[in-house]
Amino acid sequence: MADLKPCPNCKSTDLADCYVYIKCRTCKMTGPQMNDGNNDSHADYLDHENAVNAWNKLPRRPIRKR
């Protein structure tokens, strides 16, 4: 799987790469969907690359140090 950042909502790293979007298996949050969320014959490598980049660009809260 590509280098994915943790979920911006729950910080989980249990992620599903659905090719045209990324989904967190813990909280069920999904990232921006490429190709209207359809992983069909029209989906290509750029859709996957853009889905990964869009997920990684989602805003995340800074990790608090204790």
Q: What is the pLDDT along the chain (66 residues), one digit of tens a residue?
A: 569 999 999 999 999 999 999 999 999 999 999 999 899 888 899 999 999 999 999 999 777 777
- Answer whether residue 24 is part of any domain: yes
pLDDT of residue 62: 76
Domain containing 32 equals 15-57
Q: How many domains does the chain have?
A: 1
- Answer whether residue 49 is part of any domain: yes
CA 31 vs CA 6, 61, 64: distances in Å: 12, 16, 24
- Answer whether residue 31 is part of any domain: yes
Entry pTM? 0.84
